[in-house]
Structure 1
């Protein structure tokens, strides 16, 4: 029977004496042992075998572009798994092995660290203080805001490092961006989280995710990620706020226009979009209407999604539905005016993962 790799083959000696095969040359003394120093009983230094690699294998697979991409992605999204980072940086790769190798390389250089491990054994990666500084140098010159640094927290008594929390909502936001980028919609630097939109009463409505993808015909898209922790009517209020934001005048609007809108708020519909505030922030969308909005539901049932969509359809029709053109001959015009509406799309994170973000509607 042939011997296995774990059990080296022993020389056969039926007589019980010394082995029948002797070394062809006398054993040479180790030149690294100083005279009078006892020889090592076991164990070898890495330098004893020149064929053993002196550096981890993952460093060989790491390149500067991959390192830069991961630092940028973690600078934008703050926390992510290797699977999410793979889809956000190199979705053309067959798997996330190169991404994990690069993360280990960055960990060796104290640029990233593992903050926690999920129940499915996926590791949550964050930037270290040093990595956060490098991410700033990569993102801020491009006009991209860097997320806050996740600082290490220790137990007040034992000083043991505490694992940070990775809430499901933050995970869903990052996964949504990852699936969009995997489908070829949006550049990894075209995503931004928690973008504020100030209303005229001072309230700031923050979008969970903003995507810029002009190459895909999507100059800007605002996304609200909901794990059905919010009531459907709360989503109606959010849509109303985005609609109100799209109706604000630009700061450089003429006095006559400002006075007209103040005295008659509906007069804003006669003011072109180029004189509105949102056009100072976002480029023209190429369609009628205001900045489009997407609701992405995650970790929920089809029944709950259907109920929410039904509420959105009826309760906020004023904000997304077209209306008749205002004209003396409007009865003869069958076309609808979408210029004052917010284009809305609804999907689920599970559908994005299963069919892809570029699948037919």
Structure 2
């Protein structure tokens, strides 16, 4: 509470005094004292009711009431299950908030994600920090109490949840998804269930997931991450773009992947959550959170490379076409596009001599037309030969009377 509500204070006196004041008004109580002598405070029934009135109208979900119950035989307080894992979750939220990643009311714990088979995968922590470039991120806090393959199963469940359709999805979309495996990948993310729950991430892929390891060794973290990278590759790894220009495209398709980043609580506490303490699965170096979530080799690079490849291909095809352009056998000039089309179209029989260019073809046509016109004029000219008649004398017919 102290780190989450007063991240800039070096001492917890102000938080402790406020809790004592709330205790005097029967709004909070001490549930247990941890081994390091830190006290765990929870809301009383009255405080829980007051908190609901204050927070729920603002759309802020409040956790369930932790009832104060006692064992009838021993008289020991029951329900004191707040453990080191819960403390690590709260500490992670505090470190994110201290670095400016998320408002103190922008955190939520134990958020359920129901799968198609009814299984509910609960996220330890959900942060919404659009101002910090992280509109939404799910976090799993692991104190190495779980097997590495259990974390792979969690990753798979988040991936499966990101591929679900809402119950009121369009009938055509539902039938498309049922028709063949992988058809959901043809459905835009805006039509999927996760977009009803969370805002757009501003990046390709599904909702990002962070694994934060606490109270463990560097060797154990490295071994766990190695299993996540290998066994969970199908869920976090990008794919190659399916395109005609395979050799020219090095960009990767992250559209169906879960962006997974890892860090440790110790790194967050030592360097700050805004430092280069996050490593993206599939990458070697640690980066800041936003850099780790970004995809410099993703969609934006693909569009640039595709545009260059398409322009280069167009230039190549143009050069090949130019090399095949016919040359006039009479004048040596190359055919124009129009003349080339005329000589290769289905009506090429109308194009005359196919070996000459348009200009020479026009000359041929002109000569033929001139010759035809001359012949026509000659045929239409009057006869000029002497027929033995005097000028002005009526022309005798072919047959005449002899005397």
The answer to whether the 8 A contact 1:116-1:165 is kept is no
Other-structure match for 1:143: 59
The answer to whether the 8 A contact 1:250-1:277 is kept is yes
Aligned residue for 2:122, secondary structure, equals strand
Shift of 1:126: 1.0
Other-structure match for 2:334: none
**Cα deviation digits, residues 320-352 of structure 1 (max 9, x gap):** 111011234334322111111100111111111
Other-structure match for 2:308: none
Shift of 1:146: 1.5
Identify the match of residue 239 of structure 2 among 311, 323, 348.
323
Other-structure match for 1:262: 178
CA distance in 2, matches of 1:214, 1:163: 36
Identify the match of residue 139 of structure 2 among 189, 208, 223.
223
The correspondence of residues 127-206 of structure 1 with structure 2, limited to 5 A, is 127-157=43-73, 159=75, 164-206=80-122
The answer to whether the 8 A contact 1:116-1:163 is kept is no
In the alignment, structure 1 residue 126 sits paired with structure 2 residue 31: no
- Which 10-residue stretch deviates more, 247-256 or 302-311? 247-256
Shift of 1:150: 1.7
Aligned residue for 2:135, secondary structure, equals strand
- Which 10-residue stretch deviates more, 203-212 or 150-159? 150-159
The answer to whether the 8 A contact 1:114-1:124 is kept is yes
Other-structure match for 2:161: 245
Aligned residue for 2:256, secondary structure, equals coil
Q: Which of 1 and 2 has higher RCO (CA within 8 Å, sep 6+)?
A: 1
The answer to whether the 8 A contact 2:66-2:79 is kept is no
State the TM-score, normalized to the length of structure 2. Answer: 0.66
The alignment of Structure 1 onto Structure 2 pairs a total of residues equal to: 277
Aligned residue for 2:89, secondary structure, equals helix
State the TM-score, normalized to the length of structure 1. Answer: 0.73
Aligned residue for 1:192, secondary structure, equals strand
In the alignment, structure 1 residue 293 sits paired with structure 2 residue 209: yes
Aligned residue for 2:93, secondary structure, equals helix
**Cα deviation digits, residues 123-171 of structure 1 (max 9, x gap):** 1111111111111111211222211212223353575656834311111
In the alignment, structure 1 residue 113 sits paired with structure 2 residue 55: no
**Cα deviation digits, residues 196-243 of structure 1 (max 9, x gap):** 111112111111111111111111100011111111111111111111
CA distance in 2, matches of 1:126, 1:151: 10
Identify the match of residue 273 of structure 1 among 180, 183, 189.
189
**Cα deviation digits, residues 69-120 of structure 1 (max 9, x gap):** xxxxxxxxxxxxxxxx122112123322111111111111111111111122
CA distance in 2, matches of 1:332, 1:264: 31
Shift of 1:257: 2.1
The answer to whether the 8 A contact 1:191-1:212 is kept is yes
Moved >4 Å (runs of 4+): 157-163
| Structure 2 gap ranges (5+) | 277-286, 288-403
The answer to whether the 8 A contact 2:123-2:138 is kept is yes
Aligned residue for 1:188, secondary structure, equals coil
Other-structure match for 2:320: none
In the alignment, structure 1 residue 310 sits paired with structure 2 residue 251: no
Aligned residue for 1:193, secondary structure, equals strand
CA distance in 2, matches of 1:326, 1:225: 36
In the alignment, structure 1 residue 355 sits paired with structure 2 residue 271: yes
